[in-house]
C-alpha cells in the first residue's frame, strides 16, 4: 500500500516537473509557407525580463533582417512573431540556419554570449580624438598583446571599445597581475590625453560577454546621450516620441528612422538595460524606413512618471539608434595577421587625416579580416584620392573599399504602413494591439 502511494507521489512529481519544464522552455515554430516574402519565426514562452532581447539577439547575431515583428504578452505569457529574411531580401531556406534558430531560441538564456573563452577582454571608454586608436593599438603591440577580436564604437565625441587579446609569446590569456596593471595604466594615460582625466576608463576582465550589448552598456554608463557632438555624421536623425496611455497604464514609445541591420536589437537592448519591460510592440519596415512602437512599463509595473524621465528615454533611444549606425567609407582589410598589424594600419590612417568612426577586428587562424569606417577629421566623407593613397600604402589587394550592405524589403502590405508620430500614436494604440493579437493568432479578427 505504502509503495503504491509513494509510486503515485513520484508520478505526480514527475508530471509536475514536466509541466514546469514545458512552461519554462520557449516553444519555437518556423514557418516558410504562410508569408510569400519572409520566413515567420514564432516564439511562445513564459514572460521574464530580458527574454525579448535574448530572442532578437539570436536573429541579429546571424545578420538577418527583421522586416516586421509583432510582440504581445498575456499575463505571464509572452508571444513574438518575427518576419525575417536574409539581407538580400530572400526567405530563409538553409536547413542548418533554420535548425540553429530553432535550437537557440528554444534554449535562450539571459546574457547569452557570442565570444569564446580563452581571451582577456579590455574595456575602454573616453573622449574620441583623431589618432586615438593608433595610440591604443601601438601600446598593445608594445606590451606584447595580440589582438584577436575587437569592436570600436564612437558617438557624440565619445569612444567605447571592447578588445579581446592574448599574450603574444604564450598564446594564452593574460593573467599576470603586474602585466594587467601595466596594460591598464598605459591605456588609461592614452585615453586621458591632455584634458580627459576624470572620464577615461579602462578595465580588464576574463568574463565572456555579448560584445555589442556590452558596448551599449558602456556608452550608456558613459552618458554619451548627454554629450555635445564633436563630429557631425551625415545620417538621418531618428524621431522618438514618448506618450502615456493612462487608461491602460502603458508608456508608448515610437521610433521612426532609417532602417538598418540590428536596429531592433539596439533599441530593445537599451530599453532592457534601462529597466523597462516591453509588453506589446509592432515593428514595420517600408523601403529603407522603419517604424517601431513599444508599450512599456517599469519593472515594477508603472509607466513613465515625469517629464525629465520622458526626455531621458527620448535622448537614450536617439543615442542607441545613432551609435549603432555605421557612417563613413567602409574599408575591408584582409591579409596575413602579424604582430603590430593594427598599429601600422591605424598609424597610416592617422597620418593621412582619416578618422576611424567604427571598427570590427577579427582573426581566424593566421588571417586578419578587419572592417573600418572612416571619415575626414571633421566627420565629412573622406576624399576618394586620400582613400586611394592609403590603399596604395597598405596594399591595394589587402585594403578594399566596400559599399554598405543594403537591406532589401518587399512591397509593404497596405495594413502594415507605418504610423505617424505625435497624436496619431495614441489614436492607433487600440487597433495596433488588436493587430498584434490577430497576428499572434489569439483573436479571429482585428477589425
Give residue-wise pLDDT tens across range 46-56: 888 888 999 99
Domain locations in the chain? 28-105, 121-208+327-402
Length of the chain as a residue count = 447
Give residue-wise pLDDT tens across range 144-159: 999 999 999 999 999 9
Position 249 pLDDT exceeds 70:
yes
* pTM of the complete model beyond 0.85: no
How far is 178 from 164, CA to CA, in rounded Å?
Answer: 18
Position 139 pLDDT exceeds 60:
yes
Confidence of residue 433 (pLDDT cuts 50, 70, 90): very low
Task: Reduce the DSSP state of residue 122 to 3 states and report it.
Answer: strand
Position 404 pLDDT exceeds 80:
no
- Which fold does the domain 28-105 belong to in CATH? Alpha-Beta Plaits (3.30.70)
User: In which order are the strands placed within the sheet that holds 145-155?
Assistant: 201-205, 120-127, 158-167, 145-155, 355-364, 367-375, 329-336, 399-402
Under 8 Å between Cβ of 80 and 52: yes
Give residue-wise pLDDT tens across range 13-48: 565 454 444 455 789 999 999 999 999 999 998 888
Report the chain's mean pLDDT, rounded to a whole number. Answer: 84
Tell me what percent of the residues of the chain surpass a pLDDT of 90: 65
Which H/E stretch holds residue 430? helix 429-439
Domains 28-105 and 121-208+327-402 share a fold: yes
- CATH for 121-208+327-402, options being 1.10.3720.10, 3.40.50.10860, 3.30.70.260, 3.40.50.620: 3.30.70.260
Partners of 84 in beta bridges: 39, 66
Tell me what percent of the residues of the chain surpass a pLDDT of 70: 79
Nearest one of 342, 375, 373 to 359, comparing CA atoms: 373
Task: Reduce the DSSP state of residue 32 to 3 states and report it.
Answer: coil
Give residue-wise pLDDT tens across range 203-227: 888 777 799 999 999 999 999 998 6
Amino acid at each position: 500500500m505504502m509503495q503504491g502511494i509513494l509510486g503515485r507521489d513520484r508520478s505526480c512529481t514527475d508530471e509536475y516537473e514536466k509541466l514546469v519544464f514545458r512552461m519554462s522552455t520557449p516553444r519555437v515554430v518556423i514557418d516558410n509557407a504562410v508569408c510569400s516574402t519572409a520566413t515567420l519565426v514564432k516564439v511562445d514562452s513564459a514572460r521574464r525580463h530580458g527574454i525579448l532581447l535574448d530572442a532578437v539577439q539570436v536573429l541579429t547575431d546571424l545578420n538577418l533582417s527583421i522586416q516586421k515583428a509583432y510582440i504581445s504578452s498575456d499575463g505571464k505569457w509572452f508571444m513574438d512573431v518575427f518576419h525575417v529574411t536574409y539581407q538580400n531580401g530572400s526567405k530563409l531556406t538553409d536547413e542548418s540556419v533554420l535548425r540553429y534558430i530553432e535550437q537557440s531560441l528554444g534554449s535562450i538564456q539571459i546574457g547569452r554570449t557570442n565570444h569564446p573563452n580563452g581571451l582577456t577582454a579590455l574595456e575602454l571608454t573616453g573622449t574620441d580624438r583623431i589618432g586615438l586608436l593608433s595610440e591604443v593599438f601601438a601600446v598593445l603591440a608594445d606590451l606584447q598583446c595580440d589582438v584577436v577580436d575587437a569592436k570600436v564604437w564612437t558617438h557624440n565625441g565619445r569612444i567605447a571599445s571592447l578588445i579581446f587579446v592574448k599574450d603574444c609569446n604564450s598564446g594564452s590569456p593574460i593573467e599576470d597581475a603586474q602585466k594587467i596593471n601595466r596594460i591598464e595604466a598605459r591605456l588609461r594615460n592614452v585615453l586621458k590625453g591632455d584634458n580627459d582625466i576624470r572620464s577615461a576608463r579602462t578595465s580588464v576582465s576574463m568574463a565572456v560577454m555579448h560584445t555589442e550589448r556590452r558596448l551599449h552598456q558602456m556608452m550608456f554608463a558613459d552618458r554619451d546621450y548627454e554629450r555635445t557632438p564633436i563630429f557631425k555624421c551625415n545620417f538621418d536623425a531618428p524621431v522618438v516620441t514618448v506618450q502615456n496611455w493612462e487608461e491602460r497604464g502603458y508608456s508608448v514609445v515610437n521610433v521612426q528612422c532609417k532602417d538598418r541591420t540590428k536596429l531592433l536589437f539596439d533599441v530593445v537592448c537599451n530599453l532592457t538595460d534601462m529597466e523597462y519591460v516591453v509588453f506589446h510592440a509592432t515593428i514595420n519596415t517600408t523601403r529603407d524606413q522603419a517604424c517601431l512602437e513599444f508599450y512599456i512599463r517599469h519593472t515594477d509595473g508603472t509607466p513613465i512618471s515625469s517629464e525629465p524621465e520622458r526626455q531621458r528615454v527620448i535622448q537614450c533611444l536617439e543615442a542607441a539608434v545613432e551609435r549603432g549606425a555605421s557612417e563613413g567609407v567602409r574599408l575591408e582589410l584582409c591579409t596575413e595577421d602579424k604582430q603590430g598589424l593594427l598599429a601600422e594600419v591605424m598609424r597610416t590612417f592617422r597620418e593621412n587625416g582619416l578618422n576611424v568612426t567604427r571598427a570590427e577586428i577579427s582573426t581566424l587562424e593566421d588571417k586578419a579580416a578587419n572592417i573600418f569606417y572612416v571619415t575626414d577629421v571633421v566627420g565629412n566623407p573622406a576624399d576618394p584620392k586620400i582613400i586611394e593613397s592609403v590603399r596604395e600604402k597598405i596594399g591595394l589587394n589587402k585594403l578594399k573599399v566596400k559599399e554598405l550592405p543594403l537591406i532589401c524589403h518587399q512591397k509593404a502590405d497596405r495594413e502594415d504602413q507605418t504610423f505617424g508620430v505625435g497624436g496619431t500614436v495614441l489614436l492607433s494604440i487600440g487597433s495596433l494591439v488588436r493587430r498584434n493579437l490577430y497576428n499572434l493568432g489569439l483573436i479571429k479578427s482585428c477589425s
